[in-house]
Structure 1
Amino acid sequence: MLKHHTIDTPAGPLTIVVGDTGGVRAAGFTAEVDELLPLIHPRLREDARPDADIGPVTGHVRSYFEGDRGALDRVVVEQRIDGEFIAHAWRVMREIKPGSPVTYSEFAQLSGRPAAIRAAAAACARNPVALFTPCHRVLRLDGSLGGYRWGLPVKRWLLDYEAA
């Protein structure tokens, strides 16, 4: 059984869905868990119940928003997708450091396929664990924000916060 909890953050409500082992399976800047459950791979998807105790992830999120920009690196994520490139790109995305955003082109290159810019963008768009796998740190070639499932104001806030 999955557990979920919504945490109030300066960027807005962040709902987190965790599995039995405490790994984050979905997260997003919404108070509606129903927006997150479809993002979880069918093999990892289960019924979800609200529970304020989602393990140490809550403390890591609070530490992040209190100034420890590396706190989210200590959070285990459980992402799965059918497709080797996107799964690899998600692992690479977790290595993009706060305050050091990259372009989609740079992200494609870091992921080992410099010409796969659209696939790199798809990895961002299909990311089920926003914030923990930081797709908000990937920008358009001209430095503009591009898209973000949870809204451009949230993406802008996160980037500004991490740059400070």
Structure 2
Amino acid sequence: MTHSRSGAPLAHAVVDIVGHPFHAIWTPEDGAVRAAGFATAADPGAERLIERFAQSDPGLAARGLAPAPAEGGAVVDALRAYAEGDTSAIDVIPVAQRETPFRGEVWRALRGVRAGEAVTYTELAGRAGRPSAVRAAASGCANNLVALIVPCHRIVRTDGGLGGYLFGVEVKERLLYHEGALR
């Protein structure tokens, strides 16, 4: 599937999810989210997200962002529904990010981990078709550019610990509580 590298600016929005601003950037022609993540105290404008996106796909990022954030539409509506408790609402949001063959398998396996479920990095590697590639599966989580929608927050350590999360363990914990994976 090819995408035009010239065209309309990228759509974007910010939705409050579990008490944190969540930023999403998508291509308006197909509605596919290309980058998404939470603002943090160290990065309140989510500038690091935009930098990571530009490093991953400079041509697409060169289109820039639309002057104003989207106030509605399929992506925004699904994110708001998720924030309000319909944790499966994000499952229908299309995503696209540059991938290697195995990383793509990891990201597709992540999308198969449902809200309310938490699996280990070992289980994720198995779901991605390479049970011995635990470190590569963890790397796929670390390099996921579409956080929340490609739910790397649902992956935990074998010992039951939450493990790391680019946007902070506190955000990961709040997401898992929100989804019912933690009580």
TM-score, length-normalised on structure 1?
0.92
CA distance in 2, matches of 1:144, 1:115: 20
Give the residue type in structure 2 aligned to 1:57: V
Partner of 2:51: 38
Partner of 1:22: 31
Q: Give the deviation of 1:36 after TM superposition.
A: 1.1
Give the residue type in structure 2 aligned to 1:72: I
3-state SS of paired residue (1:132): coil
Larger Rg: 2
- Runs of at least 4 residues off by over 4 Å: none
1:13-162 mapped onto 2 (5 Å cutoff):
13-20=21-28, 21-30=30-39, 31-40=44-53, 41-42=56-57, 43-46=59-62, 47-53=64-70, 55-81=73-99, 83-162=100-179
CA distance in 2, matches of 1:17, 1:132: 12
CA distance in 2, matches of 1:77, 1:114: 25
- Unaligned 5+ segments in structure 2 are 1-8
CA distance in 1, matches of 2:24, 2:67: 10
Give the RMSD, CA atoms, in angstroms.
1.6
The answer to whether the Cα contact below 8 Å between 1:17 and 1:24 also exists between their aligned partners in 2 is yes
TM-score, length-normalised on structure 2?
0.83
Give the residue type in structure 2 aligned to 1:34: E
The answer to whether the Cα contact below 8 Å between 2:10 and 2:25 also exists between their aligned partners in 1 is yes
Percent of paired sites with the same residue: 41
